[in-house]
Structure 1
Amino acid sequence: MPDHLSLEDEMKKKIASQTEEGTTVDTFSALAQEEESHDIKYRTLSWQKAAILLFGEYVCLAILALAWSWSVLGWICGAFITFGLGLITWYTSYVLWQFCMKHPEARDICDIAAILFPSIPRIAFEFTGIILLLNNIFLVGFHVFTGAKILNTLSDGGACTVVFQAVTAIIGIITTIPRTLNHVSLLSIISAIAMFIAILLSLIYAGIEDAPGFGYGGSYPELGPVTTSIGLPNGGPGFVNGLNAVLNITFLWIGQILYPSFIAEMKRPQDFPKALTALVIMELILFTVTAAVGYYFVGQYATAPIIGSLSEPWARKSAFAFVLVPTVIIGSIYANVAGKFIFHRILGKSRHVYSHSFIGWGTWIAIDVFIWGLAFILGNVIPSMGDFLSIMSSAFDSFVGFGYWPVAYYRLNQGQLFASKRMIASTLFNILIFGLGCFMLGPGLYTSIDAIIIDYSGTVRQPFTCTSNAL
């Protein structure tokens, strides 16, 4: 078990002794009080700021790929999967929160894994640590790649792509310097607003243009007039294409890998369901409206993102410009959580974790530079970041999005799984969720690998190239 868990166990013993003496002390409040003498206080998030962090994580460029998913799946199937995954996300996240409330010693998803599997805590911790680092650093790399794509689009390829990627990485290093999520939440407000403007402009432009410009199957009007389908278009998309469309929607909803880190830095973690409910309601509305309006106007010409379907260069540029802000800030959120995992592994229970010492800040900034530097390399050497994100989603989100939380449900309700009709229904629902995780890990991984093979069969982007990757 990680060293810091033993430290938190000492806190719990202290709290228990205080309770025995007649003093009722809330565990999380006591942990927050322990930080009062520290220079850097981590447990400072209100539920409103936690909600803002969640909005900042979810309101991203991938939302503009929903129209493409719906163009593959059709109206009914697209809407059903979007709503269904939203409800599953809310439920599994609520179970996650219940588990965190029972185990205040948990600081991140890795601690949760160690507690979920008490017979192999070290293996579970290290395995989940690998998932956390790979998932987050690859996502940061994707944002480095996207930042260059935006700058290339805005400048008409005014500089080498590798230069634009370096610029994005440097900005990311600067925005990741704050060590607490409380500071990052302020940036998330700006990120969510900028991304909302980009979404709004994209949908307006798609609506006012006479016709879309481009689609994966050809430029307008090669695929005929814009059409949509109630059921599966053209008799069905095929297994690989259809499942990739589902994975695209799944990727948007799965964010639980960061939740324990958010909860651990809240002043009142018991208020997390407020932030979670606000998030799910907002996302259901935003995802559905964006997908439906985009699909209605561009139909079979939908691209991922929908900005690529716009016919006018000025429209693509003005909408894409606003994506630059969330590209950097969302990358910073993932870099912060990954960096904090490494930071605590290096410094452990040292005073440097909570102080403005040279060693503390020097270590943090070095980790910050390392993560964005590695992301810069990944953004350059991997020819298709989208395909590799699909494989990361199917390989790792199958655990942290679906697989872990039925196990948490089992741990929370052990001995009562079939005690009533309500518990039987809940247990069966969790078995279904676990099955979905297995499906993502199996067929989902297969389709992702197949998509990569298809990409490599054609011309691939060279590493560290000056070739423009503009829309």
Structure 2
Amino acid sequence: MATICQYDDEKKVAVVSSEPLDADVPAYDNASSIDTITALVQEDHQHDIKLRTMSWQKAAWLLAGDQVCLAIMAQTWSLSVLGWVPGILTMLFAGILFYITSITMHKFIMKYPQIKDICDFGYYAFGKSRIAYHFTAFMLLANNILLIGFHVLTGAKVLNTLSDHSACTVVFSIIAMLMGIVMSLPRTLKHVSFMSMFSAAAMAIAILLFLVFSGIEAAPYYGYNGNYPELGAVKTYAFPPAGTTWVACMNAILNITFLWVPQILFPTFIAEMEKPQDFPKALAVLTGVSAFLFIVPPAIGFVYLGQYSTAPAFGSLGVVAYKKASFAFVIVPTLVIGVIYANVSAKFVYSRIMGSSRHAHSHTVIGWGAWAGVMAGIWLLAFVFAEVIPSMGDFLSLLGAAFDSFFGFIFFAVAYYHLYKGKYFSGAGRSVMTIVHILVMFVGLFLLGPGLYAAVKAIMADYTGGVRPAFSCKNLSL
């Protein structure tokens, strides 16, 4: 189990334990929780490698680096499937639930400040269950490693597009993997947050160039159901077009919903803040930035691409030079986001290996060698998955329905249950929040049921049309 610190009230020092605490930690609004946080920070700062050093501003950059990603450019396709009304409503609804559940998550972590990752969160949320801990650990590693693999494949796609497929795609994937390993060597998220500044800026430039190019070109080129002008003039519509299947609508909703579910990383982020109680400030910045970027650029893209929208929307641009110029900047967030997921995953594995030994927090050859080995192993495994899974995008939808239903909704409905037990309807505001969290639970169960079914159907449909062979040199250019 995770190595954590227990605050000893009598000695006023941090005591290291290799198991989660068995005693309840007082609620956040009591002084004892602040004392626990202070003890955790003091204990951490005694080490050579200090993890709990992030300010809320650096945490905000880290959050933005994770969220300002290529998936934003898939939202135009979601609008082309759902139409304006269901599409925008789904985006707004997902954003509101994201903010509310993230605040609930933070309050729960402030009640148990020793939580270091989503696995510890699952342990406490489900009644200090070791089964919940190990099941969450499996979901954490499976989700993150496959997402890293997706970013390896995306890196290969960018290099394919820019070079006109000048080399085998496997070679490009290896290049992306090696770059990811080197960039992942910093141990602290404070250092990773510095990379996130450039990641968010690069993705913002890519989005801005896409919007400019889609506006100035005469017409889009590529669409999933036909190239321009086979489907007629570009048009937008309020509701799904005639003939749109339920599975297509469900996958478009999942595409929007999963963009708003990064909370699997948040407990680790909070654990590396010097003042975890300031996390809501970083969250407010992230929510504002995300609300704008997740809605406005996709909406503008839908106006110019209409029924010809693809995921990502760069693929619909009709001028090759425009496509390359805008898509080129995506390589930066592709690698940095992979680094963020790799860091969270590696910390979990590394802490299982090193425990509370001096190598865990000191500049030793064994410590750094183990860290580099774990990181290389994660990226190598991700590379293998990227090459052997024929339909990576659909497989991630499957994982999203199976795992993000827990990490984005069910976990936080359960956490709310524990936080406010016996006070669910103690006032008007609390009653509203209770109803909202009941809805959160139902959304999670819906994604786990019909959402999972839609993801499986999408995979089956893809496999009927042929699949990409393992370790293929096939051109993946947009």
**Pairwise TM-score range, normalised by the shorter structure:** over 0.9
Displacement of 1:86: 0.4
Match of 2:320 in 1: 313
Match of 1:55 in 2: 64
Displacement of 1:204: 0.9
Once the two structures are superposed, residues 342-368 of structure 1 have per-residue CA deviations (whole angstroms, 9 ceiling, x without a partner) of 001111111111101111111110010
Q: Aligned partner of 1:380: which letter?
A: E
Give structure 1 regions of 4+ aligned residues with deviation exceeding 6 angstroms. Answer: 22-25
Q: What does residue range 11-160 of structure 1 map to in structure 2 within 5 Å?
A: 11=8, 14-15=11-12, 26-118=35-127, 121-160=129-168
The answer as to whether partners of 1:11 and 1:31 remain within 8 angstroms in 2 is: no
Once the two structures are superposed, residues 206-227 of structure 1 have per-residue CA deviations (whole angstroms, 9 ceiling, x without a partner) of 1111000010001000000001
Q: Secondary structure at the match of 1:214?
A: coil
Q: Does 1:201 align with 2:209?
A: yes
Displacement of 1:428: 1.5
Match of 2:366 in 1: 359
Q: Aligned partner of 1:203: which letter?
A: L
Structure number with the higher helix fraction is 1
Match of 1:457 in 2: 464
Q: Secondary structure at the match of 1:9?
A: strand
Once the two structures are superposed, residues 276-306 of structure 1 have per-residue CA deviations (whole angstroms, 9 ceiling, x without a partner) of 0111111111111111100000000000001
User: Please, which of 261, 264, 268 is the counterpart of residue 271 of structure 2?
Assistant: 264
Q: Secondary structure at the match of 1:322?
A: helix
The answer as to whether partners of 2:122 and 2:133 remain within 8 angstroms in 1 is: yes
Name the CA distance, whole Å, in 1 between partners of 2:318 and 2:2: 57
Question: Structure 2 length normalisation: TM-score?
Answer: 0.94
Q: Give the number of equivalent residue pairs.
A: 463
Once the two structures are superposed, residues 30-74 of structure 1 have per-residue CA deviations (whole angstroms, 9 ceiling, x without a partner) of 211112221100000000010001000000001001110001111
Percent identical pairs in the alignment equals 51
Q: What does residue range 405-416 of structure 1 map to in structure 2 within 5 Å?
A: 405-416=412-423
Q: What does residue range 204-243 of structure 1 map to in structure 2 within 5 Å?
A: 204-234=212-242, 237-243=244-250
Once the two structures are superposed, residues 414-444 of structure 1 have per-residue CA deviations (whole angstroms, 9 ceiling, x without a partner) of 1111223332222111111100000000010
Question: Structure 1 length normalisation: TM-score?
Answer: 0.96
Q: Does 1:303 align with 2:302?
A: no
Name the CA distance, whole Å, in 2 between partners of 1:15 and 1:224: 73
Distance 1:13 1:461, change over 3 A: farther
User: Please, which of 411, 424, 427 is the counterpart of residue 431 of structure 2?
Assistant: 424
Q: Aligned partner of 2:65: which letter?
A: G
Distance 1:213 1:26, change over 3 A: same
Match of 1:4 in 2: 3
Q: Aligned partner of 2:319: which letter?
A: E
The answer as to whether partners of 2:3 and 2:355 remain within 8 angstroms in 1 is: yes
Displacement of 1:238: 1.7
Q: What does residue range 460-471 of structure 1 map to in structure 2 within 5 Å?
A: 460-471=467-478
Name the CA distance, whole Å, in 2 between partners of 1:373 and 1:23: 43
Name the CA distance, whole Å, in 2 between partners of 1:49 and 1:62: 23
Q: Secondary structure at the match of 1:135?
A: helix
Match of 2:176 in 1: 168
The answer as to whether partners of 1:69 and 1:248 remain within 8 angstroms in 2 is: yes
Q: What does residue range 371-386 of structure 1 map to in structure 2 within 5 Å?
A: 371-386=378-393
Q: Secondary structure at the match of 2:3?
A: helix
Once the two structures are superposed, residues 336-394 of structure 1 have per-residue CA deviations (whole angstroms, 9 ceiling, x without a partner) of 00010000111111111110111111111001000000011011111111101100110
**Which runs of 5 or more residues in structure 2 are unaligned?**
16-30
CA RMSD in angstroms, aligned pairs only: 1.7
Name the CA distance, whole Å, in 1 between partners of 2:14 and 2:157: 57
Displacement of 1:12: 6.6
**Which runs of 5 or more residues in structure 1 are unaligned?**
none
The answer as to whether partners of 1:15 and 1:25 remain within 8 angstroms in 2 is: no
Distance 1:244 1:16, change over 3 A: same
Displacement of 1:456: 0.8
Q: Secondary structure at the match of 1:26?
A: helix
Name the CA distance, whole Å, in 2 between partners of 1:365 and 1:12: 38
User: Please, which of 440, 450, 468 is the counterpart of residue 447 of structure 2?
Assistant: 440
Match of 1:333 in 2: 340
Displacement of 1:463: 0.9
Name the CA distance, whole Å, in 1 between partners of 2:127 and 2:240: 45
Displacement of 1:173: 0.2
Displacement of 1:395: 0.3
Distance 1:25 1:149, change over 3 A: closer
